[in-house]
Chains A and B, each alone.
Chain A
Amino acid sequence: EAGVAQSPRYKIIEKRQSVAFWCNPISGHATLYWYQQILGQGPKLLIQFQNNGVVDDSQLPKDRFSAERLKGVDSTLKIQPAKLEDSAVYLCASSLLRLTYEQYFGPGTRLTVT
C-alpha cells in the first residue's frame, strides 16, 4: 500500500514570496490533515478535511495560509506572503474516515524562509 506522498521535499524562498505544497493521501482515506512542525516542537494541526469539506481550520493563519482539497483526494497548502516564522516542516497526514488516533504521515516538506 502506497503511503502519503508530498512534494516538494525541500523549498527555500525569500520572505514575502509565495509557496505551495502538494499532498496525495493514502487511497481510500477520506480525512486529510495539514500540520506545521517547527524545529524542536511537535506537529500542530493547521487544517483538517473530511472528503473535500473543512472540519477544523481554527489554527490556520487565514490571512496568509490557504488550503484546498478538490475532488476529495489531493490537497494543496499555500502560503502567501511567507514570513520568517513560517520556516518549518509541513506534514500531510491521512486517516480512514475520521479516526484521528490512527493517522498516517507523509515525509513532509521542509520550508526555509530567508
Chain B
Amino acid sequence: QKEVEQDPGPLSVPEGAIVSLNCTYSNSAFQYFMWYRQYSRKGPELLMYTYSSGNKEDGRFTAQVDKSSKYISLFIRDSQPSDSATYLCAITQGGSEKLVFGKGTKLTVNP
C-alpha cells in the first residue's frame, strides 16, 4: 500500500464550481498536511498547510484533515480559470521529516 494515494484525475469543472480534491494516507504517525499547486512547467508552490486534524481556511481555499479516516481534502470555492493546475498533497510525520507527495490531481476550470 502506497503511503499517500491521490486520484490523478483529470478533473474538469465550470467556472464558479466548488472543487473537492482528496488524498488518503496509510501512516497514522503523519502530522503535517500540505497542499501544493503546480502550474504547467513550473515548480510546486505551497498553498496551505495544517497541523493535525481540523479545518483551515484561506480565502477561497479550505483544507480539511480527518485523522480518524486518514483522509485529507482541499476545497476550492468559486473556482476560477486561474486555478487550473495540478494539486499535490504532501504529508510528513514531523516538522523536519521527509515530505511524501501524492501523484497530484490535474484540475481544469473552464470559463
Contact = CB atoms under 8 A, between A and B. Distances in A.
Given A40-B103, A42-B88, A44-B101, A105 B43 contact: yes
Interface of A: 4, 40-45, 48, 56, 91, 93, 97-108, 110
A56 B32 contact: no
Q: How large is the interface on B (under 10, 10 to 19, 20 to 34, 35 or more residues)?
A: 20 to 34
Interface of B: 4, 6, 8, 32, 34, 36, 41-46, 49, 88, 90, 92, 95-99, 101-104
Contacts of A91: 43-44
Contact of A48 (B43, B90, B98): B98
A110 B4 CA distance: 25
A74 to B, nearest CB: 17
A101 B102 contact: no
Contacts of B43: 4, 91, 93, 105-108
A100 B44 contact: no
A26 B85 CA distance: 24
B90 A42 contact: yes
Nearest to B96: A98
Contacts of A48: 98
